[in-house]
Structure 1
Amino acid sequence: MVITRQATHPAPNWRLVGPWYRWAHPALPADGRVSRPTIQKFAGDDFIKDFLARPQHSLKYDEVIDVVNSYQLAEAGSFAARVLCLLPLTATGKPAPKYEADGTTISKAAVYRARLAPTSLRKLYQPAHDRHYLVTCELHCDEPGFPRVARQQVCQAGFVVRRRISRRPDGLSAESVTEQAKAAQTMAADLRELLSLDDAGARDAQDSVGLSARELQQQQALRANALRQQALLVALEHQPSWPALLADKRRQLEAERERLQQWYDEHGVRVDIEGWFPTLQDGKTSRVYGEWRRLDSPAKIFADVAAGEQSYPLFAIVPDPREAQHDAAGRTLYYGTVPTGGVQHDANGVARFDDLMTYEIRCFVRQHHPCPPRIGKTPDCHGPLVWSLPSEAFRVAAPFDVLGAANRPITIKMPDLRELAAQAATRPRGKLSPVRFVQPQHLSPKVKDSAVDGGEMGGEAICSFSIPLITIIALFVLSLFLPIVVFIFNLWFLLVFRFCIPPQIKVAAGLDAALAVTPPKVDLDADFSVKVDGVDTLIDTDDLHAALTTGSDSLKTRIKSDVGIDQDPAIDDLSNNNLGPIDQTLQDNAERLPASDGTLPPPPPVGTPLVYEDPVTPVWPATGGAKRS
């Protein structure tokens, strides 16, 4: 009888590696021996059920969204300062003043702009962002054929999450380390801008479903200009094609990152590893309190986890024996849920996981010891441990990360004042006020002529409020202070993060089509033409800027109406590239009006599309190297 080959060698010959479908050559032993546990990404609350059915079916990592992004300051010349600076900055990264002390305009040469610079560090989002992660690994015996180890030989499987702390020698300044990283940061920022242009066509094709003829014409103009920019960049870079240009930029970036790592090694920049040790309270392990401790020697790094370091369980994937093509058929695969948050913190109140520290995962398995087992204990023996290589390093996204929070939109329905009035007339006073505030000192403001006119501090008081009342006042305060903050600090680009349905605004069709083309897909400060109703219309940059900033239907008037301010916004010195996104946001608002029957339009798309890993097939059979039972 031919059976799957299983190892019976002692644990020192075991090797805990990544899953076969994430090896460079799927299931090829030579690649598996040097692989690391893999962190797979999922969406949806039922991801474990789907994972157990198809372990390799997980989401792809995006090289811009799923990595930690820093920002890089790029110097802006006189032209670029007007074209590209949504937020003009100084060389130190602070907002650049518009005028000198004597009132003269500051030279544009002193202006810098911030742009995203993706790093090579993985970024894990939180469950609140509708992203979940599993660490997966596979157990083999390190002998010819790389046979699997039977699950029955393992009495414990788990993993630990450890923290990486970068250290530099005393004689090496932080500025010199930062200076060395600038070249890689610049290359990453350049590649990111190229990738955003490369994705323009794909995003437009995806968003074309259900568009009107006019909107499709706008997208055709957008696509034509995007292709024009691609062709121009390819010509300037002396590359035969756009994919070749992107591939060359990736190679340059990878080479620079390797050079930077070599420089770190030569100058003694090292990484210390720390483990999380929960605090003992009354002889029991606390689920809340703990501390990070440095593991300053290999003996501690690979010590028995029973020494007090917190660990998490790994679970075996046991496929249905009738599914011969299952990803785990004939293999010993394990998985565990990666923690990305929680309530744990140290004695100073610092959370265990935050978005500033770097972490890694190490998996382990324990071999069954021939001694009698400890009944009801985990592990049930004191057999030897086998550790995996560390996973790729990662950081955890902040709870209110812009990209992460967009994956799980939240709808808050404001109360209807008419309905509240009807409910208030039918209920006893106080019955609909479940939120109670107990105040040791009661602060009572005085209002006169619609303005605050002093106040007084009283004694203890208890006030009850209704949740709809709190919601109405909170949104009113937001609406009141939003235009003030935007106007005072000249942060008009923040309007892009706000989407409302205002009164309808009509503009010329040719101007609409021009303004639909927003950076970085096309440069609005270069003359271009669009086709509207079959007619080519040449859009002059000065005419476009004048149409945006002057007249009764100008962008100034619409911003004043939309935001609710009386003064004209200071946008005359902004370029078309700056004004385009703001105007397009207002256009989107105007075009999403309720239908004649009162039904609301569909909300705008948020988050990022789900893209899954391509399925792979093994190049080495799971039953290779059979033996007689």
Structure 2
Amino acid sequence: MSEPGFVMRSPWYDRVREGLDLRAPLARRPRIQMYDSSDFVERLIEDPADSLVFGDDDVWTYPVPVRPHVTDDTRLRLATSRLVKTNLRKLYQPLHERFYVVVVEVFCDVPGLPRAGSHDEISVGFRMRRLHTSLTAKGRPARRVAANLVADLAKEQGLGECVPISSDVRDVWWANEAWRRKFNEDHAADLAEIDCHTDIQEWLLSPKGSGRWRTICDVSDPVIEGEKEQIIQMTRLPVREKDKMCAEDAGPKGPGSRSLWFGVIPTYSGDHWLAPQPGGRRPEIERKLDDHAIYEIECVVAQAREGCPTLTWVSAPTEPFRLADPMDPAGTKNRTVTIILPDLRRLAARASEKQGPGGVRIVTPPDSQFKMNPFSGIPKQGEGRIGAGAAVCTYAIELFFIVAFFLFLLFLPIVVLIFQLWWLLALRFCIPPRIGFTAVADFVATGKVIGGAGWNATLAAELDITLGSDLRDVPVPGGWADQLVAAKDPSGAFIFKNDAKLTHALVVSTDPGDAAQPAPLPHKVSPADPLCAVAPGPLASPGPHRTKHSL
């Protein structure tokens, strides 16, 4: 007779919060928990039940082009796209100040599912699986389906008129069965021409350390000798701090009888692999983890046996999720990076001293020197030459930054004006050295336009400062005010000259006092432990509908 095995369930505190019995389908899933600081492991050990609540930003979204209402005079007038939400979970990067763990509780697989805290011969890990969707369809039906998917979502979320777009079906094929059933009925003709298939893939590591994604059970792509699926080890959680005294009093049937494990979820990887391409094309280098694939996590209990193969038991998968890319705007807004420009006065004083060995050291390889005359303007085609090179120069890092910031200030207005990307100005704001912004805002709030009656040099200077360009005492005319007055659309019509509401939207979007201060993220309720003999608080009792083994 074989020895009893193990099963895995959601951690006890999630089951208490949601009133779940151990036999409930939702209780079979390991849980993903979110934190907003790098000390998340310490916080997890102190109280694993105290994590952050997933909010509106924590689901996957798709940008949908919209036509702004001409009567709108807020920053929404500048936004040519809006975000459509789905039900798919999104995990951010550590540089977004977001960190994630997966938590699971282990039980003995015998009637009653007793807690497995007494078993110290087991280890627990998790594996990340990739859901890869392949499509076979003619281009037009596939594009129509993708566009209709996003358009229907936008309509359902009240985002107004949506401009038709062409998307990748694989990027918008998300799991919401009730909604998708209705969509299938409405677009049956196009869907009939699309063959959609989703494979589950595993990340295999070779003995040399390289890795690759492989479709499970694909007989055409067998596992190579020595390859093994990557298993990330998990750590057992101790009794939480506030229950330690209770655990001592309760003995072997108290909180110490639990087998609760956690593992840190990798949301970024520097690994790459050679991905096969359809049609027999050459394999291409792709990232191991990207923002297009859908992932899920399975936990694995392993029990080693002397002289015999290791026994393993696998949990149900977590909820599926996608990973945010490093430049995701909803993620970068969570972390402030302050850069202080070099102090020119200090640099001038340093110029009187001997240079130290530090700085940016630039090595020019032989026959790799760009030769040009920087004093004669931008070289024309064919005027550049390649010199001998083989030189080593060291520059103060401040010098590089000064030149780079100068180029940024020089090209920002050019990019905004040439491509008419006015919404770029709403992504930044400057704090003027005086309170003149209020005068500009009051002026446009009365329905007046830039350059119109009542507009003066003082207001023009304040507008320049607000937009990041201090042009006072600069002898060249033509600041932001003049540029906006002269701006025309492709048809030749003036954009701001006669549109007071658009002018107001542009100004108020750069208000330095309009920055939204992030509110503290809500924490999940940390329930009292039902295994404690005396547990204060409203959740002290598991309730009459739960059995002793349900928690």
Paired residue for 2:475? none
Inter-CA distance 154–582: structure 2 relative to 1 (3 Å threshold): farther
Query: Which digits, 9 at most, give the CA deviation of each residue in 1:558-598, with x for residues without a partner?
Result: 55564555442124278666444531354427x9xxxxxxx
Matched, 1:624 2:544: no
Output the CA distance in 2 between the equivalents of 1:464 and 1:164. Answer: 49
- When residues 83 and 354 of structure 1 are mapped into structure 2, their CA distance, relative to the original with a 3 A threshold, is closer
State the partner residue of 2:235. 315
- Cα distance change on mapping 1:53 and 1:396 into 2, 3 Å: same
Q: How many residues align?
A: 473
Question: Are the counterparts in 2 of residues 344 and 352 from structure 1 also a CA contact under 8 Å?
Answer: yes
Range moving further from structure 2, 35-44 or 347-356 = 347-356
Match of 2:54 in 1: 61
Letter in 2 for 1:568: Q
1:280 aligned counterpart, secondary structure: coil
- For residue 546 of structure 1, the aligned residue among 425, 449, 472 is 449
Preserved contact between residue 153 and residue 367 of structure 1 (Cα < 8 Å): no
1:322-349 CA distance string (max 9 Å, x none): 3437995432211101011122111343
Residues 612 and 322 of structure 1: is their aligned pair in 2 closer, same or farther, counting only changes over 3 Å?
Answer: closer
Please state whether the residue corresponding to 2:506 is helix, strand or coil. helix
Distance in 1 between the 2:64 and 2:457 partners?
Answer: 37
Question: Is residue 351 of structure 1 aligned with residue 274 of structure 2?
Answer: no
2:44 to 48, 51, 60: 51
Moved more, 491-500 or 475-484: 491-500
Correspondence for 2:521 among 610, 616, 628: 610
Shift in Å at residue 121 of structure 1? Answer: 1.3
Q: Tell me the secondary structure at the aligned position of residue 351 of structure 2.
A: helix
Q: How does 1:58-207 map to 2 (within 5 A)?
A: 58-63=51-56, 65-74=57-66, 85-86=77-78, 113-142=80-109, 144-152=111-119, 154-168=121-135, 170=137, 173-178=141-146, 181-182=149-150, 184-187=152-155, 189-190=157-158
Q: CA deviation at 1:176?
A: 4.9
3-state SS of the aligned residue for 2:24? helix
Task: State whether residues 330 and 623 of structure 1, in contact with CA within 8 Å, keep that contact through their aligned partners in structure 2.
Answer: no
Aligned counterpart, 1:17? 9
Supply the distance in 2 between the matched residues of 1:457 and 1:171 (Cα, whole angstroms): 49
Amino acid of the structure 1 residue aligned with 2:86: T
Distance 1:279 1:307 in 2: 4
Q: How many angstroms apart in 2 are the aligned matches of 1:146 and 1:134?
A: 25
- What SS is found at the alignment partner of 2:267? coil
RMSD: 4.2
The answer for the alignment partner of 1:437 in structure 2 is 363
CA distance in 1, matches of 2:527, 2:509: 42
Change (3 A) 1:137 1:573: farther
SS at match of 2:285: coil
Q: Which residue pairs with 2:246 in the alignment?
A: 324
TM-score, normalising length: structure 2: 0.73
Question: For the residues of structure 2 that align with 1:61 and 1:140, how far apart are their CA atoms?
Answer: 27
Q: Residue 246 of structure 2 aligns to which amino acid in structure 1?
A: A
Instruction: Kindly provide the CA deviation profile for residues 489-523 of structure 1, in whole angstroms up to 9, marking residues without a partner as x.
Output: 111221122232345353677x85798xxxxxxxx
2:334 counterpart of 1:410: no
Name the SS for the 2:125 alignment partner. strand
Residue 388 of structure 2 corresponds to: 459
Q: 1:121, 1:21 → 2: CA distance?
A: 23
- 2:430 maps to a residue whose letter is C
Select which of 23, 33, 36 maps to 1:40: 33
Quote how far apart the aligned CAs of 1:168 are: 3.9
Q: Counterpart of 2:483?
A: 568
Of residues 245, 256, 259, the one that matches 2:179 is 256
Rounded to whole Å, the distance in 2 between the matches of 1:47 and 1:192 is: 40
Residue 3 (structure 1) aligns with: none
Shift of 1:18: 1.6
Supply the distance in 2 between the matched residues of 1:584 and 1:81 (Cα, whole angstroms). Answer: 9
Question: How big is each residue's C-alpha offset from its partner over 1:400-441, in whole Å with a ceiling of 9 and x where there is no partner?
Answer: 22222222221222221111122221214x645442232432
Distance 1:397 1:555, change over 3 A: farther
Q: 1:291: Cα distance to partner?
A: 1.1
SS in 1 for 2:447: helix
Corresponding letter in the other structure for 2:231: S
Give the Cα separation in 2 of the matches to 1:579 and 1:177: 38
Q: Deviations along 1:147-166, whole A, 9 cap, x unmatched?
A: 22235165221110111112
For structure 2, the 5+ residue unaligned runs are 162-175, 249-253, 275-283, 470-477, 488-494, 531-540
1:407 and 1:76, CA in 2 relative to 1: closer, same or farther beyond 3 A?
A: closer
Contact 2:73/2:501, CA 8 A, preserved across alignment: no
CA contact (8 A) 1:404 1:607 kept: no
Matched-pair contact (CA < 8 Å) for 2:128–2:295: yes
In the alignment, structure 1 segments of 5+ residues that lack a partner are 1-7, 88-112, 194-252, 373-380, 516-538, 592-603
Change (3 A) 1:353 1:582: same
Maintained 8 Å contact 1:548/1:555: no
Change (3 A) 1:607 1:472: farther
How far the C-alpha of 1:60 sits from its partner, in A, is 1.0
Q: Is structure 2 residue 319 aligned with structure 1 residue 392?
A: yes
Task: Label 1:383 to 1:260 Cα distance change in 2 as closer, same or farther (>3 A).
Answer: farther
Give the superposition deviation at 1:143.
5.2
| Cα distance per residue 1:102-140 (max 9 Å; x no partner) | xxxxxxxxxxx4211011111111112221100001112
1:296 paired with 2:217, answer: yes
Q: Using a 3 Å threshold, how does the CA distance of structure 1 residues 384 and 455 change in structure 2: closer, same or farther?
A: closer
Residue identity (%): 28
> Within the alignment, does 1:489 sit opposite 2:419 as a pair?
yes
- Contact 2:235 2:263 survives alignment (8 Å): yes
State the SS of the aligned residue for 1:346: strand
Task: Kindly provide the CA deviation profile for residues 419-475 of structure 1, in whole angstroms up to 9, marking residues without a partner as x.
Answer: 1122221214x6454422324321133134777686543111322211111111111
Q: Which amino acid aligns with 2:64?
A: Q
The amino acid that maps onto 2:214 is R
Change (3 A) 1:457 1:362: same
Partners of 1:466 and 1:22 lie apart in 2 by 55
Residue type of the partner of 2:211? G
Change (3 A) 1:346 1:419: same
Tell me the secondary structure at the aligned position of residue 500 of structure 1: coil
CA pair 188-157 structure 1, distance change in 2 beyond 3 A: farther
Once the two structures are superposed, residues 333-366 of structure 1 have per-residue CA deviations (whole angstroms, 9 ceiling, x without a partner) of: 1110101112211134321111111111111112
Q: Secondary structure at the match of 1:163?
A: strand
The answer as to whether partners of 1:549 and 1:555 remain within 8 angstroms in 2 is no
Q: Deviations over 1:523-559 (max 9, x none)?
A: xxxxxxxxxxxxxxxx7xxx42437866226987655
Q: TM-score, normalised by structure 1?
A: 0.65
Tell me how far apart the structure 2 counterparts of residues 610 and 32 of structure 1 sit (CA, whole Å).
29
Render the CA deviation track for 1:267-299: whole Å, top value 9, x for unaligned: 864421111112332xxxx1xx3211111379x
Partner of 1:472: 402
TM-fit CA distance, 1:488? 0.9
C-alpha displacement of 1:318:
2.2
Could you tell which deviates more after superposition, 405-414 or 305-314? Answer: 305-314
Counterpart amino acid of 1:315? Answer: T
Q: Are residues 1:275 and 2:187 paired?
A: no
How far apart are 1:48 and its partner, in Å? Answer: 0.5
SS in 2 for 1:493: helix
Rounded to whole Å, the distance in 2 between the matches of 1:181 and 1:448 is 55
